[in-house]
């Protein structure tokens, strides 16, 4: 596994924590509207990068500067689950803080595996569209405009399954979040929030939900 050469300290991604943001260079299935990472991280592998051994060394020497690490992408869960599990176990062995993974949710079996094996303390999942009310045929253009994909029923089922899994896990370190894409009307975001609230009530969950401002690059 390879990682973007610069690890970033952030105070916003996990409220109440100083977090080390680590970007995987393994790629992504999506090409989302306005993605800040696509050109430099997804479309091509930078010539300079950090290896997992470089990450372990960094955590051993400087891990005390943060109390959480967050793996992002691209899509961090695109790699084989065996490689992901090995990496996270090695991070656990070297780092006493919280481990967070961000995901689009397409790999629902891997999301469940991470929780089942206690490999992460929280998962931040992006709900980019109100998948539950969109039709994969009639609304195909919306998926292409926002996520850069042609949707299938299986993909949408996976996305919703992952979202429900995170809500059911019910940790304050979990998060469901949506980017307020400027090309969508408020009705889209109202529908997403309504779905999240409905599922939170069903699972008796307090997982936080955030509608994040779209940042122009």
Question: Domains of the chain by range and CATH?
Answer: 2-213 (3.20.20.70)
Mark out the alpha helices in the chain (DSSP H runs).
52-62, 81-94, 108-116, 140-147, 153-169, 186-203
Q: Residue 34: what pLDDT?
A: 85
Length reported for the chain: 217
Contacts of 215 (CB under 8 A, 6+ apart): 34, 36
Per-residue pLDDT of 130-179, as tens digits, reads: 999 999 999 999 999 999 999 999 999 999 999 999 999 999 999 999 99
pLDDT of res. 110: 98
What is the sign of the dihedral through the CA atoms of 123, 170, 33 and 110? positive
Residue 40 pLDDT: 65
Q: Which pLDDT does position 215 carry in this prediction?
A: 82
pLDDT of residue 73: 85
Query: How confident is the model over 124-142, as pLDDT tens digits?
Result: 999 999 999 999 999 999 9
Neighbours of 62 (CB within 10 A): 12
pTM of the full predicted structure?
0.94
The pLDDT of residue 210 is 96
Cβ neighbours of 200 (radius 10 Å): 18
Q: CA 7, CA 143: separation in Å to the nearest integer?
A: 31
- Give residue 47's pLDDT: 80
Write out residues in the chain with pLDDT < 50, as ranges: none
- For residue 217, the model assigns a pLDDT of 65
């Amino acid at each position: 596994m390879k990682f973007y050469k610069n690890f970033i300290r952030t105070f916003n991604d996990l409220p109440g924590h100083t977090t080390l943001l680590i970007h995987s260079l393994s790629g992504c299935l999506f090409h989302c509207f306005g993605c800040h990472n696509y050109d430099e991280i997804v479309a091509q592998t930078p010539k300079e990068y950090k290896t997992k051994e470089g990450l372990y060394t960094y955590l051993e020497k400087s891990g005390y500067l943060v109390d959480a690490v967050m793996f992002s992408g691209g899509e961090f869960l695109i790699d084989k689950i065996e490689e992901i599990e090995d990496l996270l176990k090695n991070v656990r062995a070297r780092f006493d803080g919280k481990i967070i993974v961000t995901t689009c949710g397409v790999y629902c079996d891997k999301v469940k595996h991470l929780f089942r094996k206690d490999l992460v303390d929280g998962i931040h999942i992006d709900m980019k569209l109100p998948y539950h009310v969109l039709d994969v045929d009639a609304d195909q253009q919306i998926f292409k405009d926002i996520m850069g994909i042609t949707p299938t029923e299986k993909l949408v089922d996976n996305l919703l399954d992952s979202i429900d899994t995170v809500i059911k896990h019910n940790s304050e370190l979990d998060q469901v979040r949506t980017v307020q894409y400027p090309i969508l009307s408020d009705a889209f975001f109202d529908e997403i929030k309504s779905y999240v609230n409905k599922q939170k009530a069903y699972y008796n969950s307090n997982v936080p939900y955030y509608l994040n401002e779209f940042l122009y690059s």
